[in-house]
Amino acid sequence: MKKREILKDPNPVLRAETEDVLSFDGEIQELIDDMIYTMRNADGIGLAAPQVGVGKKIIVAEYETPEKSEDDFPLAVVVNPKIEAISEDDQEFMIEGCLSFPGTELYIKRPKKVKVTALDRWGKEYTLEDEKLLARVLQHEIDHLNGILMIDHIKVVKTLFIGNGSLGQPVLERITNDPQFELLAAFTTVDRPAGRSGELQPTMVAELAAKLNQKTFKIEDINSKEIINQIKSLNPELIVLADFSQIISKDLINLPKYGILNIHPSLLPKYRGPSPVVTAILNGDKKTGVSIIKLSDKIDAGDILSQLEIRIRPRENADQLKNRLAEFGADLLAETVPYYLADEIHPIKQIEEKVSYTKKFSKEDGKISNQPAERVELMVRALNPWPGVYTTVGDKKVFITKSHLDKEKKLVIEIVKPEGKREMTYKEYLAGNSPLTITE
């Protein structure tokens, strides 16, 4: 037996018609052995002959785990299969992958139960009937025999993205690459002066959109009549919002058929407002999360469609946590949308009694003034790079950009940045300066 090349979409062979197997000769036996070997070698659980470039109605499937789960099924060789019955009224969403779509996972709705008649590898008739994983695998692979691919089962939604910062980057990339979305355009704010030079700098979303070759609109006011008319002309069915600083008007909220979905980096109703990630670290929280909400005209108060809770790592800073939440948020959005479009999610209203708010931080919030070591360590993790955590030596600020607590809960300063100078290790700083006195 040998490993055969697995064809990848958009190879036209994957769309071609297949023929019944009429003779179970040595050539067919060799093909079946090769398919089994190829499937196992690729860690697959199903493979159809067209995926290895052969237009015959042959499927191999197998799923066996050491734990012997209820979804396990032994090796099945399925030749000339015919679906005799499916549970039209009992369907479910499940994640599906495909060896012809490496790295792609989609939520696809299929009948839960299926009954298939087929021939085994020797041409003997038999029946397969299942309502677990095998039922889905059989439907997926029989689709291959008919030139149907898993992307044909998804509802493609015309989507517009609005965002600015790092939280929005993985979301934009996911919408671009996920076949369930047709990205019409990205909207982001205009370039702003940045740094000491004051040169105009595009938003992080604008930079990524350019790399992805996506149509991008740079705007001053998302709620202006001109921009709303522009969005109307694109006719989006869904708008996705992440890391955007402007309040969205009711006119825009009501424009798309499926509304606006917002990715918010907290477990709402906790931490509404502009700085949920910073606040979670500053408060010493052990866990946080990300919420997908349907936007309403009240800030961060929309109904919750889904949430994911994660643990905050012991020395994680705000940027690191935000980046992790951004990745989780992109995944959660992709998982949520199929259920949302199929009206299989029941939005949950936020409990107003449990609402807490965050604030916009200023430079003064980063000033150290005899706080305990534990508090300073939280400040350093939470408030870098903005507004920065500092103490004063004479009339100059010294920013602490990295620190940790030792076993005795004493503050250990690792990296500092004296005002007007480069960042340096604390050891370098002490070579020409006295130790900083910053805790109680």
Measure the CA–CA gap between 265 and 282, rounded to whole angstroms.
15
Catalytic residue among 128, 144, 302, 332: 144
Catalytic residue among 14, 31, 47, 99: 99
CA neighbor of 181 nearest in space, from 189, 172, 190: 172
212 is catalytic: no
Measure the CA–CA gap between 334 and 306, rounded to whole angstroms.
11
Name the packing angle between helices 169-177 and 318-341 (round to 10°). 40
140 is catalytic: yes
144 is catalytic: yes
Catalytic residue among 44, 134, 138, 141: 141
335 is catalytic: no
Q: Which residues pair with 433 in a beta bridge?
A: none
Q: Which residues pair with 111 in a beta bridge?
A: 91
Measure the CA–CA gap between 167 and 275, rounded to whole angstroms.
12
Measure the CA–CA gap between 274 and 164, rounded to whole angstroms.
13
Catalytic residue among 31, 44, 51, 208: 51
The token duo for 388 is 């920065």
The token duo for 115 is 């009954």
346 is catalytic: no
User: Pairing mode, if any, of strands 216-219 and 181-189?
Assistant: parallel
92 is catalytic: no
CA neighbor of 244 nearest in space, from 189, 206, 325, 202: 189
Catalytic residue among 96, 140, 180, 264: 140
Catalytic residue among 14, 31, 47, 98: 98
Measure the CA–CA gap between 151 and 142, rounded to whole angstroms.
14
Residue type, 44: G
Alpha-helix residue ranges (DSSP H) falling in 273-424: 276-282, 318-341, 373-382
Catalytic residue among 46, 259, 289, 329: 46
Residues marked active site are found at 46, 51, 98-99, 140-141, 144
